[in-house]
A and B are shown apart, each in its own frame.
Chain A
Amino acid sequence: MKPPRLLIFITLSFFTIIIILPFLYIIWLLLSDLTFQNIFEIRQIQLLKNSLIISLGTTFFSLLLGVPTAFFISQLQSNKYRLMILLFCIISLLIPTYIQAIVWNQLSINIKKYIDFIDIYNLKGAIFILTLSYFSYITLLTFTGLQVFDRNLLEAALIMQNKWTSLMKIVLPMLLPYIFAGAIFVFIFSIIDFAIPDMLRLNVYPVEIFIQYSAFYNDRAALILSFPIIILTATIVVFQKAYMKNRSYIQIYSGFKNLQSIYSIKWLSIVTIPSIIMSSAVPITFLLIKTGDFSNYMNAWLSSKDQIYFTLMISAISSTFILMFSLFLAIIIERSKNIYIKIIHSISLIPLAIPATTIGICLITIWNQQIVDFVYSNSTIIVFGYTFKFLPFALIVLISGLKNINKNLEESALLSTSSWLRINYNITISLLKPSLLFAFFTVFILSIGELGTTVLIMPPGKETITLKIFNYMHYSDHETVNALCLIIILIILSLTGLVGLTYHKVFKVNFS
């Protein structure tokens, strides 16, 4: 059912202002400096090399950990254990990367007292922390693939060949799109990550872009610097979209389907359990131990409660706006066969490929003009920044949800009414509620932990908790930093619990 023209016009206008405008600005800037002199300097090649080593290394090790972990989870007979391990994987994704960096930074200093050669202030250290932060993306996506895997296809193979041949020839090739999608997410997130390389003082693109802008005030050089990385990651994002075709990235409705227990889980646990613990339980436990007594929490809370309120408020406003915007955009994309809409779908995923610092510089350059000062002078710029950065996540969730809704349901409603609004409100949006909640939650959590864009676009007099932690870190106030990190994790976990409870009680999703 085609959406009304007015809705398409309003949604696409917002899309043009928030997504296409900054994107066009980058392209215009690049085309206006066709010499690209800076790009081919030796220093640039070193930057590209470092960025690629980090992202490829992280992707490789994430695959090595992520895929066996997904198999391990799917083979577990006990629902309780399966749910518990999945929860730990989710927790590891919920912990913002800068918190992982803070923890492993302090841990390495402690370990270094006993083992001298341990040093995380290098590319290997960055790969290690980024792998712990991101391998669960591959786990969860592979697990999604295993959930929708038709068990008969495996059994048809098992009746002819042994379980390992069946795994290599049937299961893995069919899971490849999910594994590949996870690997690409990890590659992109690690190549554009700002927080970890910045804390480890590594020369990579996102850090260099930030330095060009904040130290040399050269926005043009900063944006031109991001050219190779944007081209590389944008190509990968578009390629990934084409490769995934109509497959869903996530499955919210289907409970846990148990793939037959044919592959031994004992040896898999040697790889998976320690990595899950290191990425989730270790950071939390370390922060708990290092923060010390209760007074440190109180001091941290009292000194930062305004920033915490502001962070929660701005994240909630941004998430609500993104949810509304992405809902209409998802309906337009999913229910339209127009080629231009398909192009818009591809463009909507490009922000995934742009470093956070580049997004910040673009927004400042575009909106820091007298005529549109109403955007830049207040928190609207943050909402715009988060929308640019996190819209693809909400879109991926909602489009996956829409794909699961049978179009016949809408068509059967058409026999009773021709009102697009009535049909979508009563049928589509009602059925999409679990996906809407998941999209809101995803964007909200990502907004709380955002650093790279926020550090550049924050209006004067305002500060998010992430920025406050970032600033405290430079004063080496470890107790306060640790306490604030724990408070953030506690807030995130409480929200996760609330969302889980809503799924269980309201949407009757059975987690066992």
Chain B
Amino acid sequence: MIKICNISKYFGKQTIFQNITFSLSSSEIIILTGPSGCGKTTLLRTIAGFENIDSGKIIIDEVEASTPKFIVEPHKRSLSMIFQDLALWPHMNVEKHITFSLKDKIKGKKSIQLKTEEILCDFRLEGYNKKYPTQLSGGEKQRLAIARALASKAKYLLMDEPFNNLDIILKDELNQILEKIIKNYKMGILFVTHHLEEISEITDKIAIMKDTKIVYFDNIQKLPLNSNDDFVKRLIKKG
């Protein structure tokens, strides 16, 4: 379980987020949403270990991962991340994207090769082994980013608006993949998105961030229908 305990983050005098507290258990999905610039991405990066915190602590599987004094390196946190722009490495082909994340987890060249084939097959990327990101379509790139994130066998997955800029057909296809992840991989997922309709059906909880704080954190079905908040109203309307 990832426990976020009262964490705050400042850039100089600017507050990015403050007093954030929630937890994510394995095989649970939480949507993190909120208006642009409210600190969602920085919160995700903090959980991943790319940013330090100024107060509070982050505990991952009963081990302190971030405090204001120290920070556990990202690759030791048992989590994985899908970036908004996917962050595919332009100099590596599809196969190398997967083997890069497998190398510490599986020993032996043949085992790595077999596992890579299996993952590529899972994400309908078989036959694309030697292709580079620039040679892939939008959907294939998305599938590669997800495959790479899952190859590391992490227990938690952080997703930073990875379905942005996709058309409806691709979003449907990726939703199916997401359902498959939940079913087969049993990961805890923290999903940052502006578009609630994308995954509202398969999610458990929702966290709404506004003005640097989490203003709502509960089951998605319990969203207050008569809320006065403009953002929540729009969210309900869309969802």
Contacts and interface: CB of A to CB of B under 8 A. Distances in A.
Residue picked from A150, A160, A161, most chain B C-beta under 10 Å:
A160
Interface string A165-200: 000011001100000000000000000000000000
Interface stretch (A151-159, A347-355, A369-377): A151-159
Nearest to B158: A159
B160 to A, nearest CB: 9
Contacts of A174: 89-91
Contacts of B104: 160-161
A156 B75 contact: no
Contacts of A156: 81, 83, 87-89, 148
B74 A155 contact: yes
A468 interface: no
A159 B103 CA distance: 13
B152 interface: yes
Contacts of A260: 50
B18 interface: no
Interface string B92-110: 0000000011011000000
A174 B48 CA distance: 23
A157 B100 contact: yes
Contact of A161 (B49, B87, B103): B103
Residue picked from B45, B74, B91, B148, most chain A C-beta under 10 Å:
B74
Nearest to A161: B75
Residue picked from B77, B84, B89, B104, most chain A C-beta under 10 Å:
B89
A160 B80 contact: yes
A160 B87 contact: no
A35 interface: no
A174 B87 CA distance: 13
Main DSSP-derived SS at the B contact region: loop
B201 interface: no
A152 B87 CA distance: 6
A163 interface: yes
B107 to A, nearest CB: 15
B122 interface: no
B239 to A, nearest CB: 28
A260 B87 CA distance: 16
Interface in A406-459: none
Contact of A158 (B73, B88, B103): B73
A170 B148 CA distance: 15
A149 to B, nearest CB: 11
B87 A155 contact: yes
Contact of A155 (B50, B88, B103, B148): B50
B53 interface: no
Given A159-B79, A163-B73, A153 B50 contact: no
A173 B93 CA distance: 13
Given A169-B100, A260-B50, A159 B89 contact: no
B118 interface: no
Contacts of B103: 161
B85 interface: yes
A150 B87 CA distance: 8
Contacts of A152: 83-85, 87
Main DSSP-derived SS at the A contact region: helix
A159 B90 contact: no
Contacts of A159: 48-49, 74-75, 77, 79-81, 152
Contacts of B100: 157, 160-161, 169
Given A159-B48, A160-B80, A260-B50, A153 B87 contact: yes
A155 B90 contact: no
A155 B73 contact: no
Range for the number of chain B residues in contact with chain A: 20 to 34
Contacts of A162: 73, 75
Interface string A250-272: 00000000001000000000000
Contacts of B87: 150, 152-153, 155-156
Nearest to A153: B87
Contacts of B89: 153, 156-157, 170, 174
A152 B49 CA distance: 13
Nearest to B152: A160
Contacts of B81: 155-156, 159
Interface in B50-88: 50, 73-75, 77, 79-81, 83-85, 87-88
Contacts of A161: 75, 100-101, 103-104
Residue picked from B84, B90, B91, most chain A C-beta under 10 Å:
B91
A154 to B, nearest CB: 9
Contacts of B90: 174
A510 B80 CA distance: 36
A173 B73 CA distance: 22
Nearest to A160: B101
B145 to A, nearest CB: 8
Contacts of A169: 100
Nearest to B45: A155
B134 to A, nearest CB: 12
B150 to A, nearest CB: 11
A153 B100 CA distance: 13
A145 to B, nearest CB: 13
A306 B23 CA distance: 77
A173 B100 CA distance: 14
A284 B158 CA distance: 54
Nearest to A260: B50
A156 B80 CA distance: 9
Nearest to A154: B87
A177 to B, nearest CB: 10
Interface in A72-106: none
Contact of A173 (B79, B88, B91): B91
A169 B75 CA distance: 15
Nearest to A150: B87
B164 to A, nearest CB: 14
Residue picked from A153, A156, A158, most chain B C-beta under 10 Å:
A156
A166 to B, nearest CB: 8
Contact of B48 (A155, A163, A173): A155
Residue picked from A152, A162, A163, most chain B C-beta under 10 Å:
A152
A155 B48 CA distance: 9
Contact of B83 (A155, A160, A170): A155
24 contacts: A152-B87, A153-B87, A155-B48, A155-B50, A155-B83, A156-B87, A156-B148, A157-B89, A157-B100, A158-B50, A158-B75, A159-B48, A159-B49, A159-B75, A159-B81, A160-B80, A161-B75, A161-B101, A161-B104, A162-B75, A163-B73, A174-B89, A174-B90, A174-B91
Given A155-B81, A161-B104, 12 more contacts: A150-B87, A155-B48, A155-B50, A155-B74, A156-B87, A156-B88, A158-B75, A159-B81, A160-B80, A160-B100, A160-B101, A174-B90
Pick the 6 closest A-B CB pairs, nearest first: A156-B87, A152-B87, A160-B101, A159-B74, A158-B74, A173-B91
